[in-house]
C-alpha cells in the first residue's frame, strides 16, 4: 500500500514536470517554463504568407538583441502550426533569430485566438497578459511599451 502511494506521488510529480514544458523550439530543443520564469515575454504570431509579419521580423530580432539582460524574452509562434523541418525551414527562410515555439502557448498564457496577423502579446513576469498589439510592431515601440508596463508594477 505504501509503495503504491509513493509511486503515485512520484508519477504525479513527473507528470506535473511535463506540464511545465512548452514543447520544443525551431531547433528541436525543449523549452521549459523554468527557462521563462521571472521573464517578461513578447509572444508574436507570424506566418510566411503575411507581408507585415515579414517586415516585422527584423524588428523582433532587434528587440531580442536589445532585451538581453533585461528579463525579457521574445518568442515566436507560427500561425499555420508548422512543425519539425517545415518550421525550421520557414524560420531560416525569414531570418528569425529569436526562439520560435513549435507548440502554441495560448492555453498556458490564456491568449485569445486572433485571425489578424501579426499579433503580439506582452506577458508579464507573473504570466499575466498585459497587452495585445495588432499589426506590425517596431523594436523601439515594443521596448518603450515594455518599459512603461514594467514601471507600473
- For residues 84 and 15, give the distance between their C-alpha atoms in angstroms, rounded to a whole number: 24
Q: Which of 1, 8, 35 is nearest to 20 (CA)?
A: 35
Half-sphere exposure of 150 (CA within 13 A, CB side): 15
Residues 6+ apart with CB under 8 A from 64: 73, 74, 97, 98
Predicted confidence (pLDDT) per residue in 24-58, tens digit? 999 999 999 888 989 999 999 999 999 999 999 99
Q: What is the pTM of this model?
A: 0.85
* Domain spans, the chain: 23-151
User: What class has domain 23-151?
Assistant: alpha beta
Residue 113: predicted pLDDT: 82
Tell me the average pLDDT across 86-93.
97
Amino acid at each position: 500500500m505504501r509503495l503504491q502511494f509513493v509511486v503515485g506521488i512520484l508519477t504525479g510529480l513527473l507528470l506535473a514536470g511535463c506540464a511545465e514544458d512548452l514543447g520544443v523550439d525551431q531547433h528541436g530543443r525543449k523549452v521549459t517554463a523554468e527557462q521563462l520564469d521571472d521573464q517578461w515575454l513578447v509572444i508574436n504570431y507570424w506566418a510566411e504568407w503575411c507581408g507585415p509579419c515579414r517586415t516585422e521580423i527584423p524588428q523582433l530580432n532587434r528587440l531580442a538583441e536589445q532585451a538581453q539582460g533585461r528579463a525579457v524574452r521574445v518568442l515566436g509562434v507560427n500561425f499555420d502550426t508548422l512543425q519539425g523541418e517545415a518550421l525550421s525551414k520557414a524560420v531560416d527562410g525569414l531570418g528569425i533569430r529569436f526562439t520560435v515555439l513549435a507548440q502554441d502557448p495560448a492555453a498556458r498564457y490564456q491568449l485569445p485566438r486572433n485571425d489578424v496577423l501579426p499579433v503580439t502579446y506582452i506577458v508579464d513576469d507573473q504570466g499575466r497578459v498585459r497587452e495585445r498589439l495588432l499589426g506590425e510592431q517596431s523594436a523601439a515601440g515594443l521596448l518603450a511599451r515594455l518599459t512603461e508596463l514594467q514601471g507600473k508594477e
